[in-house]
Amino acid sequence: MAKYNIETSEETAFRKNLESKNDIHSMRLKRYLSMPDLSRTPGSPLQEIVRKAKEVSSLKNFDEIKIPEIVPTKILFDLFNMPEGHSARSPSDTYYVDENNVLRTHDTVFWYYYLNLPEIKKRIVNKETLGAICYGKVYRKDEIDARHMNVFHQFGGWLIAPDDKKTITPEDLKKALTEIATSIFGKINFRFYDHNFPYTDPSFEMEAEINGKWIEMLGSGMVRKTVLSNLGLEGYHGWAFGFGLERLAIASMQLPDIRLLWSEDERVKKQLKLGHKFIEVSKYPPIVRDISFVVKNDFVPNDYFDFVREAAPGLVEEVALLDKYENIEKFGAGKISYAYRITYRSIERTLVSEEIDKIHKKLETETTKNFNATIR
């Protein structure tokens, strides 16, 4: 097994350029990029999942690769069957650094960087079987609730072999995935069902039965030949998979809130052990406030969710849409009314109304300023 750490001059330049900027978008990107990689943080349950997965026999001797977090769209999207117009490329879902570069939205992009390593190119010439894993942070604009964050972690892997030397089948893939799942959850029930992904065909999702409920675990499939061709590789085939580390950690520990994985509260941290049910640490009461406003119809809700996160860092548990409607007579053409319910709750202390009133009032003021909104 070899370890590779890919660094690009382009990413270094982007990070340096961001440091000199103070606009809202740049500040947001800097904050997300500076968040710790929990898959490499000692004591984190995400690191423990990574350790367990790496030790299964199906992944033994796989290479390990760490890749840039700022990547070109032509690599992240074009090569992986997500052409112009694909929903994943929308600025409402993806963080753009400039028009041609983004914060990576999936770890499957490691295939490109792996195949372009000089050592790997030599092994391909020798028609060797190749296996590799990659893990770390990914970034997607997302809703705000107890199960989602816009910065999260993925673990991916693949195994490819020359067509004329070895046959790799979906059954081999399912065997490997069952090994990984068992290493994390023990002997529980698993099942597979057909799915669809841009870079694998056939594709499968895997579910595990945990506490009487079937929970989606990961996506996988046989690598599409067209994607391998896009990457400059012919005459190879194999399987690939990817899963969100937070999803598995939450299921293993029955965590009520994804933010707990980032907590610095020692009462919380000492409980974050895989397989141990999390016991609520004197759950602090929520404070609920509503906000209603009228904006132009090009308003992007995911951008607003990021905005709310930043208005009250670590204090927003959920943002729920209460109402959305158009009324030309009341609001004018091209305008939409939105009403959201924001649940504020700290996982470490009791909030007081006076504190939240100030935060919420500032949120209303900044909503008016940044989204050209009219508060109702």
Distance, CA of 64 to CA of 5 (rounded, Å) = 9
Q: Among 282, 265, 293, which residue's Cα sits nearest to residue 369?
A: 293
The pLDDT of residue 249: 94
The pLDDT of residue 19: 92
The pLDDT of residue 353: 93
Q: How many CB atoms lie within 10 A of CB 222?
A: 19
**Residue reference for tokens 């409980």:** 271
Helices (H), the chain: 9-19, 24-34, 45-54, 73-76, 110-115, 118-125, 170-185, 225-230, 245-253, 266-269, 301-311, 328-331, 353-371
Phi first, then psi, for residue 101 (nearest 5°) are -140, 145
pLDDT tens digits in sequence order for the chain, 376 residues long: 899 999 999 999 999 999 999 998 999 999 999 999 999 999 999 999 999 999 999 998 999 999 999 999 999 999 998 888 888 899 989 999 999 999 999 999 999 999 999 999 999 999 999 999 999 999 999 887 888 889 999 999 999 999 988 889 999 999 999 999 999 988 889 899 888 888 899 999 999 888 788 988 899 999 999 999 999 999 999 999 999 999 999 999 999 889 889 988 888 888 999 988 888 776 788 999 999 999 999 998 888 888 898 888 889 988 988 999 899 989 889 999 999 999 999 888 899 999 999 999 999 999 999 999 999 8
Helix (H, G, I), strand (E, B) or coil at 291: strand
| Bond into 202 cis (ω within 30) | yes
Q: Among 121, 141, 118, 169, which residue's Cα sits nearest to residue 301?
A: 141
Q: Among 103, 109, 111, which residue's Cα sits nearest to residue 142?
A: 103
**Residue reference for tokens 């960087």:** 113
Distances from the Cα of 326 to the Cα of 71, 294, 295, angstroms: 38, 9, 10
The pLDDT of residue 282: 62
The pLDDT of residue 292: 94
Distance, CA of 191 to CA of 216 (rounded, Å) = 10
The pLDDT of residue 55: 94
Tokens of 194: 């057909």
- Ordered by where they begin, the domains of the chain are 3-253 (3.30.930.10), 287-375 (3.30.70.380)
The pLDDT of residue 279: 84
Distance, CA of 160 to CA of 62 (rounded, Å) = 11
Helix (H) or strand (E) run with residue 77 in it:
none
The pLDDT of residue 348: 83
Please provide the DSSP assignment of 122-163 as one string. Answer: HHHHTT--EEEEEEEEEE-----BTTB-SEEEEEEEEEEEET
